[in-house]
Amino acid sequence: MAGDRTRERPRSQASAGDLLHLVRSGRAITRGALQEATGLSRATVGQRLDRLFRAGWLREGAGGPAGSPTGGRPSLRLEFDDAHAVVLAASLDTRHARAALLTLTGELLVERSGALSVDEGPERVLGALGGWFAGLLKEAGRSADAVCGIGLGVPGPVDTATGRVVQPPIMPGWDGYDIRGRLGRSFAEQTGGAGGSGRSGDAAGVPVLVDNDANLMAYGEQRTGHPDCAAFVLVKVSTGIGAGVVVGGQIYRGIDGGAGDIGHVRVPEGAGALCRCGSYGCLAAVAGGRALARRLTEAGVPAESGSDVRELLAEGHPEAVRLAREAGRSVGEVLATVVTLLNPGVLMIAGDLAGTPFLTGVRELLYQRALPRSTAHLDVVGARLGERSALVGAGALVVEHLYAPDRAEERLAALGL
């Protein structure tokens, strides 16, 4: 992991990227502290910090409250300068999308949401996102050269090594598609420049990172509201069902991005329910938003997706409330196994169906089925960031990737520093 790089190499070989990581993590925020943490000489620390200053990545702020042990002046505090670049982020759902421009510390500057269906295919959807990004930059008064990276969340399993979705049940036409390349081209075409040629240090273009939306939601929520939780699980229940897992501050994806795909766990009550993946009995076919929408329509209440069910729940529609609580119980039974296996400190329920009725159903079955030992220190909560969680997570993913020690060194070299 990036957080361990200064321990992987000899202390005397700590790079400028390692020093940046120590400052960003808060482990060493003065020149003296960096010397102590790395064993580097004062002159060497100064030389490596100078590279970071010239890149615009670090700045020196006001001194701390206490002086040096010898009674000298307070040391100047080193700070990550989040004003030198911005990040673009987007999250796709089955029928809607959200996009935002964020600072490097996760503050949303401007955002947009609207109808955008993944059924339209990657060419159309990713082309549209490029236009959205151009609009966000214009609204914020920023240029394309200010963008250091783009993060995208999609409702399907992602091989993060390639950025391609792998056999996504609810994303027809996306399997194996070059999402990174298309979104990068769309961004360049719509903004009038290749991007990445300025102070970002990525001459080949703006880096694009792609991950599963539930993973990014979990990452955003864990970092923002539960940074000390060593094992964090978020379950997104919208048109489909998926989970994101953060362990030790890192997203757990499995060997090829398939971790957390609990929507395709088979449940007894779904024996006759056909899932979009082609199998029968999947949890999503019983308790997902699409399944509830179908049952509501059959009952004379027109609905097509999880977002329609959400609107009915907001209105307090009695049949929607009943079905949501029932669906929560089905999900809660599966989560009893998840909780027993992972022993998380926080289980967060998010997405279109994540209201009181659904959460009540989850708690009923979870605490009934799971061993008391597994739930003794478990908090079952709703999302704090709401629909912005995947955007915050995508932004954080980009920043952690670009400013990790080894990657930072590569980018400094590309800048000629």
pLDDT tens for 377-399 read 999 999 999 899 999 999 999 99
pLDDT of residue 6: 47
pLDDT of residue 18: 96
Residue stretches of the chain with pLDDT short of 70: 1-12, 62-74, 193-204
Cβ contact 201:414 at 8 Å: yes
Label residue 281 left, alpha or beta by phi (over 0 means left) and psi (-120 to 50 means alpha).
left
d(CA 238, CA 308) in angstroms, rounded, equals 10
pLDDT of residue 43: 96
pLDDT of residue 205: 81
Residue 131 tokens, joined: 């236009």
pLDDT of residue 229: 97
Beta bridge partners of 381: 348
Other CB atoms within 10 A of residue 172 CB: 12
pLDDT of residue 10: 56
Find the farthest-apart pair of alpha carbons in the chain and give their distance in angstroms, rounded. Answer: 79
pLDDT of residue 34: 96
pLDDT of residue 32: 95
pLDDT of residue 94: 87
Closest by CA to 118, choosing from 180, 175, 181, 187, is 175
pTM for the complete prediction?
Answer: 0.91
Residue 216 tokens, joined: 């990014």
Burial class (CB in 10 A: 0-12, 13-18, 19+), 26: exposed
d(CA 205, CA 197) in angstroms, rounded, equals 7
Lay out the sheet containing 108-115: strands in order across.
108-115, 96-102, 86-92, 147-154, 208-212
End-to-end CA separation in angstroms for the chain: 25
Residue 343 tokens, joined: 């022993």
